Structure 1
Amino acid sequence: MSSDFDSLEKKRIKTIELFAGVGGFRIGLEKIEHNNKKYEIVWSNQWEPATKAQHASDIYCMRFGKLNHSNQDISTVHIDEIPNHDLLVGGFPCQDYSVATSLKNSAGIVGKKGVLWWQIHRILEQKKENAPSYLMLENVDRLLKSPAKQRGRDFALMLSSLNSLGYAVEWRVIDASEYGMPQRRKRVYILAYKIGTELHSEILQAKPVDILNANGLFAQAFPIRTLQENEILQDTIGNDLVKITNSFNKEFSKNTPFLEAGFMIDGKYYTSKVRADYKGDFMYLKNVLVAEENVPNEFYINESELQKWTFLKGSKTLERVSKSTGHMYKYSEGSMSFPDSIDKPARTIITGEGGASPSRFKHVIHINGKYRRLMPVELEKLNMFPENHTLGVTDTKRAFLMGNALVVGVIEKLGEKLIQKIGDGL
């Protein structure tokens, strides 16, 4: 096992960042220092399989340097090329959760499009006694309820495999705006603690209601309204990944058994719905806007285009033809706020946020009698990145990169509590 003591004697928590994007985890963690201890990224990997251009990796290297950065398919990276580390972090792409197949398969477990979750599993398994003590992961919240025909199966596979590798797991769905951040971005965050660590021991010994209410790392970083014991559901997960793949939750597939908050230890999980209990300051869209005199003309919407934007943002019923059957059907959608209120947190940034073409989902604000789109630097600030972090590619690509990014403030809060807990355990 990777030693907390060895790492902290050197006043650093050795960290690797997988599926690094433009470095959101790194930015959040490297801000933190506690009792002369800090996080140090000792290796990173970012590779985009769909394109020849590697914009995210290029930005990463421009900001942090090329040393110890890998821009190749993680599945081709030999385990000996990945240094030993205390903490593994990553926002693994959401299309690759499963599927487990027959154990006769050479890998035992395969995925649909690159098995990226299973690459994390591979690293943990092949590192053996040098596997990291801690994991910090991020994904879209639908991970807890995918796929549609077996709600929760993909997350069950993750929990089962982590349990087999000797980890306890906490998870929480967090909407960043509910804790004072400027964007309504809801994601599931996952923390795992290896057997033998102080955090693993705390979960093993504490009451479930206390872990979810106060003692767990999520409860300390992101407080919730107090839960009662009868609000917490519990069940067990086996270690047979093939059985989970084939039969998990088939009988009750309309609902996932995994709610917004929970933890798992020794194959038993506890979960509940939760509500945020935040009493600090709030940031809104208006807090990230640049001065209007610094906005280029290309971001303003002229009168001839405004009608298109208004139509796309409004409610409508359209006739469409099914590609599979050829039958005509009616498609309806409700209206969206137009323009977006600057006195509230922004909506979730999407990858298609950039470009001048009218869109239902892009942000549009109304300032001084003019309508305009958001600038890349404003999108960066909504994710709490440094200004102009993605400078060096087109504005459209900068928006795309922010649509794929996370809210740095969430990572910073989790990192602060984790480093305190690691320190308290020595």
Structure 2
Amino acid sequence: MAKELKVLELFAGVGGFRIGLDNADKSLFKTKWSNQYEPSRKSQDAFDVYNYRFPDSENIGIDVAEISDEKFSSMDADMIVGGFPCQDYSVARSKKNEMGIQGKKGVLFWQIIRAAKDIHPKYMIFENVDRLLKAPAKQRGRDFSIMLTALNSLGYSVEWRVINAADYGRAQRRRRVYFFVFRNDLPYAKHLDEKYDFDEELIPDDAYDEYIFKEGLFAKQFPIKEELYKGRRAYYELPDDIVAASDNFTGKVFNTGIMRHGKYFTIDSVPNSDKKPTPLRDIVQPEDDIDEKYYIDDQAKIDKFAYLRGPKHIERTSADGHTYTYSEGGMSPYEDLSLPGRTMLTSEGSVNRSTHWLKINDRYRVLTPIEAERMQDFPDDWTKYKIVDGEVKEVSDRMRMFFMGNALVTSIIEGIGKGIKEIVNEYDKNI
């Protein structure tokens, strides 16, 4: 068995990737470095929580763009992990063509590419919103093809899957796309070429099917049915040039796929889990433990929630004077405790349509921070404290809810970590 895999956690938030990997195997996955920085905020609360929870790693609290190539190169990380924002990934030739491409300033994916160039990790895990696969609206899949082309140019392969956490037993209907990225010179990658002829010019569908449905990391950890949604499948060969991918992409991208040697195969898969979703009633705290501040007795606020969750047909006027009707469908008046929660957003806890609105024993209330943490599979009170200038302080409820709206379901990362552990133990244990 491999001694350890050293991990760099980028866009670390309050440590969701690290929690998931620790739960998968704390002796194998060793997070040595992290980076967390919110450029729009004076206080760096997420960084301060991470620092409080993980004082044993080198936690870098500056803009990732300010981390030098020399600093990245000094990190002998075996893995890079992170959840980066969905942005416009379009690229163009630079005027002098020195580097070949010029991406939009501030697009954080290019910082991941820079780190990967400097570090050459064996594996990477990323998470993003599922709409990435269909962005932008006028050229669906283009942004994702740019990412695949960039990773292919660095000598990596990518397996991806859109996972709704509730489909695999968790307490939140949260759909996100997860990427398992591995270097092409690893024994595992060479095994795939030998078994599935992934390096051949033409690849039969049945080889792809066996990998995607049975043998791949996601297939083993998050099973899918051996049938396709509406029969959707596609094969595409990426260009060598990243600008060509940006300008000319015409392929399709579905919720499951594998990219090897610049070619990808993708299907629209259907989950096949024997794990029932965790209902909200299983994660809410006993009412005796709930502070009165989470209850809403103000009738005006109760009425406001009823309005926000109800159907709407509102006449509006656009900036150019055009009149139109804004329509919005109705929601249930309060959460069904027999179902898993809806996707949690950063506005959780405010008087907002997306806020989880509970009615228990004829009283209304919002989620507590602990319940929000449970929806993301964080330990209770994970975000309660931070450390600032050596002093431990409590974190506000508003920020704790913001953290969880930004976080991921840590048990999904745990499953991916277990899949990597199997690969390492079978193929890469001596490297």
> TM-score w.r.t. structure 1 length?
0.91
Q: What SS does the aligned partner of 1:225 have?
A: strand
Deviations 1:64-83 (A, max 9, x none): 11741101111111123231
Deviations 1:102-154 (A, max 9, x none): 37356544443512101111112233xxx011111000001111111111111
For the pair 1:47 / 2:42, whether they are aligned, the reply is: no
Hey, what's the Cα distance between the residues in 1 that align with 2:108 and 2:95? 19
Structure 2 match to 1:180: 169
Q: Please say if residues 10 and 35 of structure 2, whose CA atoms lie closer than 8 Å, have aligned partners that are also in contact.
A: yes
Deviations 1:322-371 (A, max 9, x none): 12x1222110100012201111110000000123xx22111101100111
Residue correspondence of structure 1 range 206-225 to structure 2 within 5 A: 206=196, 207-225=207-225
Deviation at residue 246 of structure 1 after TM alignment:
2.0
Structure 2 match to 1:383: 376
Q: CA RMSD in A?
A: 1.8
How many matched pairs? Answer: 403
The alpha-carbon distance between structure 1 residues 374 and 245, as it changes in their structure 2 partners (threshold 3 A), is same
Tell me the amino acid that sits aligned with residue 233 of structure 2.
I
Structure 2 match to 1:422: 424
Hey, what's the Cα distance between the residues in 2 that align with 1:180 and 1:296? 29
Which of 155, 168, 174 does residue 166 from structure 1 map onto? 155
Structure 2 match to 1:399: 401
Residue correspondence of structure 1 range 18-417 to structure 2 within 5 A: 18-33=10-25, 37-65=27-55, 67-82=57-72, 83-95=75-87, 97-102=89-94, 104=96, 107-127=99-119, 131-204=120-193, 205-206=195-196, 207-227=207-227, 232-249=233-250, 257-302=252-297, 303-323=299-319, 325-355=320-350, 358-391=351-384, 392-417=394-419
Structure 2 match to 1:252: none
Hey, what's the Cα distance between the residues in 2 that align with 1:110 and 1:389? 40
The alpha-carbon distance between structure 1 residues 111 and 377, as it changes in their structure 2 partners (threshold 3 A), is farther
The alpha-carbon distance between structure 1 residues 50 and 364, as it changes in their structure 2 partners (threshold 3 A), is same
Amino-acid identity (%) = 41
Deviation at residue 266 of structure 1 after TM alignment:
0.8
Deviation at residue 100 of structure 1 after TM alignment:
3.8
Tell me the amino acid that sits aligned with residue 340 of structure 1.
E
Hey, what's the Cα distance between the residues in 2 that align with 1:237 and 1:212? 19
The alpha-carbon distance between structure 1 residues 341 and 106, as it changes in their structure 2 partners (threshold 3 A), is farther
- Most deviating of 93-102 and 181-190: 93-102
Tell me the amino acid that sits aligned with residue 237 of structure 2.
T
Q: Please say if residues 224 and 276 of structure 1, whose CA atoms lie closer than 8 Å, have aligned partners that are also in contact.
A: yes
Tell me the amino acid that sits aligned with residue 51 of structure 1.
R
Hey, what's the Cα distance between the residues in 1 that align with 2:46 and 2:399? 9
Structure 1 match to 2:202: none
The answer to which structure has the higher strand fraction is: 2
Q: Please say if residues 315 and 325 of structure 2, whose CA atoms lie closer than 8 Å, have aligned partners that are also in contact.
A: yes
Deviation at residue 203 of structure 1 after TM alignment:
3.2
The alpha-carbon distance between structure 1 residues 110 and 46, as it changes in their structure 2 partners (threshold 3 A), is farther
The alpha-carbon distance between structure 1 residues 67 and 38, as it changes in their structure 2 partners (threshold 3 A), is closer
Q: Structure 1: 5+ residue runs without aligned partners? A: 250-255
The alpha-carbon distance between structure 1 residues 231 and 316, as it changes in their structure 2 partners (threshold 3 A), is closer
Tell me the amino acid that sits aligned with residue 257 of structure 1.
K
> TM-score w.r.t. structure 2 length?
0.90
Deviation at residue 63 of structure 1 after TM alignment:
0.7
Hey, what's the Cα distance between the residues in 2 that align with 1:39 and 1:51? 31
- Most deviating of 257-266 and 295-304: 295-304
Hey, what's the Cα distance between the residues in 1 that align with 2:92 and 2:414? 34
